[in-house]
Chains A and B, each alone.
Chain A
Amino acid sequence: MTLTRVLLELDRVDMFFGGVQAIRDMSFTIMEGELAGIIGPNGAGKTTVFNVVSGVYSPTAGSIWFREQDITPLKAYQVNRLGIARTFQNLRLFSRSSALENVMTAAQNRYRYSFRENLRGFLSPSYRPDPDYHYSFIEALSHMGRWAAREKHIRAKSMEFLERVGLANRARQAAGTLPYGMQRRLEIARALALDPKLLLLDEPAAGMNPEEVSALNGLITGIHRDFKLTTLVIEHHMDMIMEICPHIICMNFGAKIAEGTPDQIRSDPEVLSAYLGDEGAEA
């Protein structure tokens, strides 16, 4: 895999909530095809970084670039449509819908027409691309035309992702009734179904036992390899990130304190004092 293009770049991002500074002067770059991790103790501002990148908040200062486009002012759904998908630290599944329906809800959004495409398509219908999970409002009303084929396609595609995370036999079960570890994997399947260019995983191992964590490690590295998907993982358990991520950013009190390979992070004195020191003493 060639690491050539910059995919995501944060440039001196600050984020204030009232008087509290959650992120301070945060800058880093993620190259295309990377598997990177952000570590830091609880409350270091990791999730806030994700919220700023995915457009939940717009930063107080600084700018965020994704594929050479300034996404700082964009809303969450616009950022997502550019190709950034994420999971959530405290699960946000549609708990009353089935696992399959959760993934289908994402899969139908794999391609969204941009405003310009809609406009040009209106003037010359042949211009518009015809992604194979799209059908028109009239077709939805009448269930005629492309509806049947496209719905079938969305369903089949969604089943593929459920199979990938090992939930194919749970497809019909309501998402809220799945065991915790499965709900986490379902979130990953849902994010994958969006066909993202950048996947943000927010504490994917939270609440898992060691066996589940090692299975998850396999899943994340497998997804990264098979889909050639740039992935950014947040964890406060250092071991997991150290094991799978060649590129690690370490945060404390809202600021980046170190960045580099696992070996560099492990030997960084600031990381040791700020993070390992405390955690190590407790454990």
Chain B
Amino acid sequence: MGNAAQFTEFSTLFQQVVNGLSLGSVYALIAVGYSLVYSILSFSNFAHGGFLVVGGYICYGLFTGFELNVFSRHLLTVPAGSVWLAGLGALGGAGIVAVLTERLAYKPIRERTSMTLYLLIASMGVSIIIENIFVIAVGGRFRALPQSMFPSGLYNLGWGVTASSSDVLSLTCAVLFLGGLQFFLTQTRWGLAIRAAACDLRTAGLMGVNVSLLIAIVFFAAGLLAAVGGVFLSYRYTLYPQMGGITTKAFVAAVIGGLGSLPGAIVGSLILGLAEMLTTGYVSSQMRDLVVYSLLVLMLLVKPAGFFGKPVSDKI
């Protein structure tokens, strides 16, 4: 009897760990893109959540085909498509929106002033604009990506622990995309340029790197990663215009890992995913957000620069 109870307890724990890792991997996709932008331009791009929403809706639109509703008139009808088309469209579309955001809103500000406060406020504005464009164009109601989109089923991991195929898929995709980013950053010339720019953007520019193109590439990558996260979030939970609010968690994860550090963003995300799922499993799901923010405050008190952050010093 005692053995069986212990066994159940263990499998519950393990189940929550699997769920936590899968949630954390989605956070990681979002947090890494955010950190990437932060490492280059050193400002928090609050519009990052918007890229997620754009990705989710493009995917939904291309897969199911829906009618765009402007001023209660149906102006545009999109035909249904395949998973691959929907996925590619979502990633590319979000990437392009990210690049456009940078070009239209941030670039003029960057060229005029070095105060990041202005970028921060503009990014907040962009995030509100994107969210409300979707509220007006497709309505605020919750949608779900059809379950037929990805293969369904449960994988038995042994000891009574199961993982749904969406868990496995999101983990695999996260590993694939983050691995791809790692490959891009370490093995290509542009990746080297981005890492150099993360140390010092101006110097990289003086060394002959096309800074404008570099920033566009960074924003495209960030938008693309956010869209991957957005597609999985809207598949596992629901899709709605305010979904971008979830990026707050990714920001917290990035701070816990160390602002601007990519490995930090991944580690922070996994910690956050685990903390949330363990709280849900053992305390209550209402407490999970409070736990997240307490974790943030605790981390700032104990190790303010995060696990992988460099202590910030101003060059004089």
A47 at interface (Cβ–Cβ under 8 A)? yes
B316 at interface (Cβ–Cβ under 8 A)? yes
Q: Which residues of A contact B314 (CB under 8 A)?
A: 56
**CB-contacts of A39-98 with B (<8 A):** 47, 51, 56-57, 88-89, 92
Q: Complex formed: what's the CA distance from A89 to B316 in Å? A: 8
Q: Complex formed: what's the CA distance from A57 to B316 in Å? A: 10
Residue of B nearest to A50 (CB): B316
B286 at interface (Cβ–Cβ under 8 A)? no
Q: Which residues of A contact B148 (CB under 8 A)?
A: none
Q: Complex formed: what's the CA distance from A47 to B316 in Å? A: 8
Q: Which residues of B contact A89 (CB under 8 A)?
A: 316
Q: Complex formed: what's the CA distance from A208 to B313 in Å? A: 29
Q: Complex formed: what's the CA distance from A57 to B313 in Å? A: 9
Interface size class of B (residues with CB under 8 A): under 10
Q: Complex formed: what's the CA distance from A193 to B188 in Å? A: 53
Within the complex, the shortest CB–CB distance from A127 to chain B, in Å, comes to 35
Interface string of B299-316 (1 = CB under 8 A from A): 000000000000001101
Q: Complex formed: what's the CA distance from A89 to B314 in Å? A: 14
Within the complex, the shortest CB–CB distance from B268 to chain A, in Å, comes to 24
**CB-contacts of A83-118 with B (<8 A):** 88-89, 92
Q: Which residues of A contact B313 (CB under 8 A)?
A: 56-57
Q: Complex formed: what's the CA distance from A56 to B316 in Å? A: 8
Interface string of A218-239 (1 = CB under 8 A from B): 0000000000000000000000
Q: Which residues of B contact A92 (CB under 8 A)?
A: 316
**CB-contacts of B272-316 with A (<8 A):** 313-314, 316
Q: Complex formed: what's the CA distance from A47 to B313 in Å? A: 15
Q: Complex formed: what's the CA distance from A191 to B201 in Å? A: 31
Q: Complex formed: what's the CA distance from A92 to B315 in Å? A: 11
Within the complex, the shortest CB–CB distance from A194 to chain B, in Å, comes to 17
Q: Complex formed: what's the CA distance from A223 to B298 in Å? A: 50
Q: Complex formed: what's the CA distance from A92 to B313 in Å? A: 15
Q: Complex formed: what's the CA distance from A47 to B315 in Å? A: 11
Q: Complex formed: what's the CA distance from A248 to B314 in Å? A: 29
Within the complex, the shortest CB–CB distance from B112 to chain A, in Å, comes to 13
Q: Complex formed: what's the CA distance from A51 to B313 in Å? A: 12
Within the complex, the shortest CB–CB distance from A88 to chain B, in Å, comes to 6
Residue of A nearest to B314 (CB): A56
Within the complex, the shortest CB–CB distance from A177 to chain B, in Å, comes to 15
Q: Which residues of B contact A47 (CB under 8 A)?
A: 316
Within the complex, the shortest CB–CB distance from A121 to chain B, in Å, comes to 31
Interface string of B75-96 (1 = CB under 8 A from A): 0000000000000000000000
Within the complex, the shortest CB–CB distance from B198 to chain A, in Å, comes to 15
Within the complex, the shortest CB–CB distance from A28 to chain B, in Å, comes to 21
**CB-contacts of B178-227 with A (<8 A):** none
Residue of B nearest to A88 (CB): B316
Interface string of A195-233 (1 = CB under 8 A from B): 000000000000000000000000000000000000000
Within the complex, the shortest CB–CB distance from A246 to chain B, in Å, comes to 28
Q: Which residues of A contact B316 (CB under 8 A)?
A: 47, 51, 56, 88-89, 92
Within the complex, the shortest CB–CB distance from B99 to chain A, in Å, comes to 32
Within the complex, the shortest CB–CB distance from B159 to chain A, in Å, comes to 46
Q: Which residues of B contact A88 (CB under 8 A)?
A: 316
Residue of B nearest to A54 (CB): B316
Q: Complex formed: what's the CA distance from A92 to B314 in Å? A: 12
Q: Complex formed: what's the CA distance from A224 to B74 in Å? A: 79
Q: Complex formed: what's the CA distance from A88 to B316 in Å? A: 7
Q: Complex formed: what's the CA distance from A92 to B114 in Å? A: 14
Q: Complex formed: what's the CA distance from A57 to B311 in Å? A: 12
Within the complex, the shortest CB–CB distance from A173 to chain B, in Å, comes to 20
**CB-contacts of B216-242 with A (<8 A):** none
Within the complex, the shortest CB–CB distance from A95 to chain B, in Å, comes to 11
Q: Complex formed: what's the CA distance from A51 to B316 in Å? A: 8
Within the complex, the shortest CB–CB distance from B272 to chain A, in Å, comes to 30
Q: Which residues of B contact A57 (CB under 8 A)?
A: 313
**CB-contacts of A4-58 with B (<8 A):** 47, 51, 56-57
Q: Complex formed: what's the CA distance from A192 to B313 in Å? A: 26
Q: Which residues of B contact A56 (CB under 8 A)?
A: 313-314, 316
Q: Complex formed: what's the CA distance from A89 to B315 in Å? A: 11
Within the complex, the shortest CB–CB distance from B121 to chain A, in Å, comes to 17
Within the complex, the shortest CB–CB distance from B213 to chain A, in Å, comes to 28
Interface string of A253-270 (1 = CB under 8 A from B): 000000000000000000
9 example contacts (A-B, Cβ-Cβ < 8 A) are as follows: A47-B316, A51-B316, A56-B313, A56-B314, A56-B316, A57-B313, A88-B316, A89-B316, A92-B316
- 7 more contacts with CB within 8 A, not counting A88-B316, A89-B316, are A47-B316, A51-B316, A56-B313, A56-B314, A56-B316, A57-B313, A92-B316
**What are the 6 tightest A-B residue pairs by CB atom distance, in nearest-first order?**
A56-B316, A51-B316, A88-B316, A92-B316, A57-B313, A47-B316
